[in-house]
Chain A
Amino acid sequence: MAFTFAAFCYMLALLLTAALIFFAIWHIIAFDELKTDYKNPIDQCNTLNPLVLPEYLIHAFFCVMFLCASEWLTLGLNMPLLGYHIWSSPQIFLGVLIVSVSRYMTRPVMSVPGLYDPTTIMNADILAYCQKEGWCKLAFYLLSFFYYLYGMIYVLVSS
């Protein structure tokens, strides 16, 4: 039983995932509020857009950590979400290389980072999509939270 780098990665991921769970809950609440008419879409987008990049960065950060720690299985489990984030990221985050495949093509023209445009967000399709996205992410983060917990203990015990 020794405190390895992998164990450290898992512990960090555990903490960061807890933060991401809060982000996801915030996201779900925000879209629910939009749907039930409590909030103005402009305000809502102003609060949601700044959270998009931090979330992506946090997730990308511990993916890189797992890469360094050679935790291939964990990295593999996280790849789909990383791919989705990259695919749906704004250009600012990505550079010009992946522009042709990114959601930037359909992303509204915006001068600030973020995904949500107050003029289109109330469209029923987009609203439903965002809500679904929020629930899926919440589920993913919750599951991965427990997986990291298990992974941490496993690494600690086995080494």
Chain B
Amino acid sequence: MQQPLSSGHGASLPNSSTAPGRHQQVPSKAPLRSTAGHCDFITYQNSYQVPVQNIIRPVCPTSLDNTQGSGQTYSTLSMDSSLIAPRGPNMITATPVQSFVDTSQQASYITEHYPSQVPYIVPSQSTTQVLSTHSASINHAYPGFSYQPTSVFNTQHNAPLNLQNLHFATSQPLFNAMSCQTKILPKSEQEHPPASFQPYHAGNTGTSWQPLARTSVKKPAGFTTKPVALSSTARSDMSAGFPFSMPHQIKPSYSPSMTNVAKPPVSVAPLAQWLPPSTERLTSATASPASASKACSVDLFLIIKLIQHQVPCHQLQMMRMKQPSSKVNHLSSSMKGLFFQNKQQAEARKQINLLQERNILPPVPIQCPQSNLSPELRNLNCSPDLFRCTLMNVPQTQALLNKVKLPFGLLLHPFRDLTHLPVITSSTIVRCQSCRTYINPFVSFFDQRRWKCNLCYRVNDVPEEFMYNPLTHSYGEPHKRPEVQTATVEFIASSDYMLRPPQPAVYLFVFDVSHNAMESGYLNICCQSLLENVDKLPGDSRTKIGFITFDNTLHFFNLQEGLSQPQMLIVSEIEDIFIPTPDSLMVNLHESKELVKDLLKMLPAMFTGTRETNSALGPALQAAFKLMSTTGGRISVFQTQRPSIGVGQLFSREDPKQQSTIKGLQHLGPATDFYKKFALDCSSQQVAVDLFLLSGQYCDLASLACMSKYSAGSVFYYPSFHHIHNPTQVEKFQKDLKRYLIRKIGFEAVLRIRCTKGLSIHTFHGNFFVRSTDLLSLANINPDSGFAVQISIEESLSESSVVCFQAALLYTSSKGERRIRVHTLSLPVVNSVAAVYTGADVQAITCLLATMAVDRSISSSLSDARDALVNAVVDSLSAYRSTISNLQKSVLVAPNSLRLFALYILALLKQEAFGTGLSIRLDERVFSMCEMKTRPFVHLILMIHPHLYRIDHLSDEGSITVGDKTIPQPPIIQLSAENLSQDGAFLMDCFSVMYLWIGKNCTNSFSNEVLGFSNWDSVPQNLDRLPELNTLLSRRVTSFVSWLQDSRPFLSILRVVKDDAPFKANFFQRFVEDRAEFALSYYEFLLHIQQHISK
């Protein structure tokens, strides 16, 4: 039985018992290792064994950090029950509420005395936060209602648990609505203490878990064990579909249109009746009440009709098929999600008066807004770091989208280094017969044998092989297969997915060795780096490597095995390129390793003192293409000047006079189509070209970048590179090159993005060649490239309540395996303007607008693009304004989700790409535009709007723990120079560079304890890295900085900024809220927008 299936899973099966812990430790937002070129699939295959619904993804987006140890365990529980709290007051009016009692009990965890009496419960900060907001909301909704009872409960609850029976007596008079149902309470309460705490306790001691990401709240293993324990008793009592249908039924009562107060009494009653048992089930691990379930499920379906919430039938169906053992888990997680959703929706409905609200930047990084999706589907969704949509609630029609005036699109980071990824080996990959969608968590199973595609709605058969579940060794549970449990999976593809045998890893390096190049000294650094990393180049035994150098002639290197030393072959005919010895120029890396190393050692010395100033880049590229065209692979071009002879010759187009006016700025597009045609030829032969441009003067990057743009390569630019005069660029080059050489690589890749019927892809952004309306051809794929897609709504989406997007990346790994990485994203469809605004993801919108603005500035003009960016803010804010009545004319309001929109757009306008400053060189501007198009959005948003932290008095308050290190989490400060103070030290994180600003009056202890210098004056200007000193503050600062560094693939450069430092201007340029040369301050920008709106 296992034979045909399990070549991928089988080996790891014995380890299954260790697996659950692993899952808990690896949140989806785990920081990347900087050298994460090799991500280990092998380890993941172990964790495969866990039933996947126990993988808890972070549900809540809010700032629930600072959860430590066992405290987290309990906080999860208390949140679960307290989420019922907001509902409590509502129900008092309709039906006696038992749940309210439970709620208030939970609420009492706020008290600080509690832990001392129940030692294993440590209330965390998060509990406090949650509950305080909750009580606030209740008071708000019921001004007349005294919330005094809580304090009564508090005092009582501080007593040992067995006194709980008593407090009902005292509490009863306070809640006059509480009548008949309280009678049954004592019974359940008596069962409460022993049963409820046991599992948690066991869970706490059993596992260790470390929260890695800043804001992710994870349920500890203890919690996940609970449902298992429960299921043995509770399972029989529950009717099949009911707990799963619950999230859908609860949700509507919290939908934006129905706020806390207004609710039809009919629908409240069944809910209220139904809730107490669920609370019991959550707080006490007893068997659930036998009577509840059937009657409730009837009631609940009644509610569906009453509230007329569209519960998609396929969702229900899918949920019904899930095993009861996961029910409570789902239930609690969904309720938790519900609570946050409620809280968030209240938050999201808030309007922000931009002109009055000064501090709009939250102190923690902004999270992707939550969609209206039911929490459990949301939990299944792809991580927002990999795949996100600008509108988390998809508008139903194009008309609605036009009304909202926000861009609709997807941002993708498909090949991101992941710390864990399910890899599936299976002889048949289950796909929809008509639209070829891969099976994913959002499909619905009709019965055991058929599934319905969620993109085209075709009903497909489940293949025989899919019936067997390698995780549980069980048969007949197709819905529990890993493909259906996680939204990001990787398949090992069979030969059906190959047009030719998988290609080996082939690398060709093309070096500029003209006078200019040797002068800059890059070749030495480059060869050194290659020598160090030649063994780490991704590949297998078939890996091939080759080298070409060029000035006004081409030099090939024969590295054939058996030669005593590398042979240089010079071709001076550049008009009609030929390859001297075609067979021996690309050699097997392992067979000729010694020769390769010899060559790398000799190469820098070979050309020193050359007088040749011309550069024949075009012919060199043609030669490189001839070498590579049979195999495909990667060409890395190192260029230091404008190509001056042969094909692809470029001329200086930079005109300082033109630069001074933004209107006159031209030449953002290519001057010749040679590089584009070359890239297209490369792309069709599966060759990608990466360009490293190290140059002092203008090189016409706009033309040169085309060679990477259409062949799915990447561009690196180091302005004024010199090995002695510019050490910071040298350092950056070294670091980038190291990462570049060892990072993962996929060859001969294609990326297809499918969307639900009715949606279509409008435009793609990134480096690739578009081969078809939904297919990108990527000669190479690397983990540092992101893509953006604009979507248009062609037909009304009224027939479904959710839409799905699926991105499937088919590539050949460096080990010669054909693999498919599939990401699936599911989003709800809404038909109200308010709901669309609630789900707007301001960061994603900014990134998408940035890529669109780049296109606009190339096809039209830069000033046009700038206008378009401003108009994007003006249009969306005025569209929002028109949805609100009775507003004063002078008020500039924004929905809470878009409160940072104006700020981000202003930051974008101050970027090098779109800035108006005189000092921006044309090449730098073009490079900045390239970055906007290709950077993954997580990085891009940090480049657009850097984070500023104060680090001279870091404390452990709010810190997180990664491994055995404690990482302090200082709050993010707004980017205004007024927040800097002369007696502090500040760190600005701009992704590729970090500025450390030390104030003049900063205590000497900071420079002493952290930097290792006695006082401020002695701190040097070029401090590359922070020393590891044996002081508390130093440990905190270094751990914080290295934590930031770990979260990105390319190491950032650290620059110390003092008042007289050369980087001061660069540093202060980043303060986007301040007024700068030719650029508005944030407040002025707001006034400008307001003017436009009121016109």
Contact = CB atoms under 8 A, between A and B. Distances in A.
Contacts of A109: 669-673, 676
Most A-side CB within 10 Å, residue of B672, B710, B773: B773
Contacts of B760: 124
A119 B669 contact: no
A37 B773 contact: yes
Contacts of B680: 42, 118-119
Interface residues of B, number: 25
Nearest to A45: B680
Contacts of B763: 123-125
A90 interface: no
Contacts of A34: 772-773
B859 interface: yes
A122 B763 CA distance: 8
Contacts of B770: 41, 119, 122-123
A125 B762 contact: yes
Contact of B684 (A35, A42, A125): A42
A37 B771 CA distance: 8
Contacts of B698: none
A111 interface: yes
A40 interface: yes
Interface in B671-691: 671-674, 676-677, 680, 684
B771 A41 contact: yes
B792 interface: yes
A119 B710 contact: yes
A84 B773 CA distance: 28
A158 interface: no
B775 interface: yes
Contacts of B710: 119
B442 interface: no
B274 interface: no
Contacts of A108: 673
Interface of B: 669-674, 676-677, 680, 684, 710, 760-764, 769-775, 792, 859
Contacts of A37: 772-775
A101 interface: no
A110 interface: yes
Given A42-B684, A108-B673, A109-B676, 8 more contacts: A35-B773, A37-B774, A40-B684, A40-B771, A41-B770, A111-B673, A122-B770, A124-B761
B676 A119 contact: yes
7 contacts: A34-B773, A41-B770, A111-B673, A118-B680, A124-B760, A124-B761, A125-B763
Contacts of A41: 770-772
A124 B772 contact: no
Given A41-B770, A119-B710, A122-B773, A111 B761 contact: no
Interface in A33-47: 34-35, 37, 40-42
Contacts of A119: 676, 680, 710, 769-770
A154 to B, nearest CB: 46
Given A42-B680, A124-B763, A125-B762, A111 B674 contact: yes
Most B-side CB within 10 Å, residue of A108, A122, A127: A122
A118 B774 CA distance: 15
A159 interface: no
Contacts of B772: 34, 37, 41, 122
Interface size of A as a range: 10 to 19
Nearest to A43: B684
A106 interface: yes
A111 B773 contact: no
Contacts, number: 51
Nearest to B859: A106
A112 to B, nearest CB: 8
Contacts of A127: 773
Nearest to B683: A42
Contacts of A124: 760-763, 773, 792
Contacts of B762: 123-125
A41 to B, nearest CB: 7
A42 B772 CA distance: 11
A92 to B, nearest CB: 14
A124 B773 CA distance: 8
Contacts of A42: 680, 684
A110 to B, nearest CB: 5
A111 B672 contact: yes
A118 to B, nearest CB: 6
A40 B771 CA distance: 6
Interface in A106-155: 106, 108-111, 118-119, 122-125, 127
Most A-side CB within 10 Å, residue of B760, B770, B792, B859: B770
Contacts of A122: 764, 770-773
Contacts of A125: 762-763
A65 to B, nearest CB: 35
Nearest to A126: B763
Contacts of B673: 108-111
Interface string A35-79: 101001110000000000000000000000000000000000000
A7 B792 CA distance: 51
Nearest to A124: B762
A127 B774 CA distance: 13
Contacts of B671: 109
A68 B249 CA distance: 79
A42 B673 CA distance: 14
Nearest to A35: B773
Contacts of A35: 773
A10 B671 CA distance: 44
A42 B677 CA distance: 10
A118 B677 CA distance: 10
Contacts of B769: 118-119
A127 B773 CA distance: 9
A142 to B, nearest CB: 28
A148 B676 CA distance: 44
Nearest to B790: A124
A119 B679 CA distance: 10
Nearest to B703: A109
Contacts of A110: 673
A119 B933 CA distance: 15
Across the A-B interface, the 3 shortest Cβ-Cβ residue pairs: A122-B770, A37-B772, A124-B762
Nearest to A122: B770
A9 B672 CA distance: 42
A85 B771 CA distance: 28
A106 B864 CA distance: 14
A127 B720 CA distance: 42
Contacts of B761: 124
A101 B1079 CA distance: 33
A3 to B, nearest CB: 49
A126 B677 CA distance: 20
A48 to B, nearest CB: 15
A41 B771 CA distance: 6
A111 B678 CA distance: 12
A108 B772 CA distance: 19
B858 to A, nearest CB: 10
A115 to B, nearest CB: 13
A131 to B, nearest CB: 12
Nearest to A39: B772
A119 B675 CA distance: 12
A89 to B, nearest CB: 18
A37 B774 CA distance: 9
A105 to B, nearest CB: 9
A127 B763 CA distance: 11
Contacts of A118: 680, 769
A122 B777 CA distance: 12
A117 to B, nearest CB: 8
B148 to A, nearest CB: 61
Most B-side CB within 10 Å, residue of A110, A111, A123: A123
A41 B710 CA distance: 13
B793 to A, nearest CB: 12
Nearest to A106: B859
Nearest to B762: A124
Contacts of A111: 672-674, 677
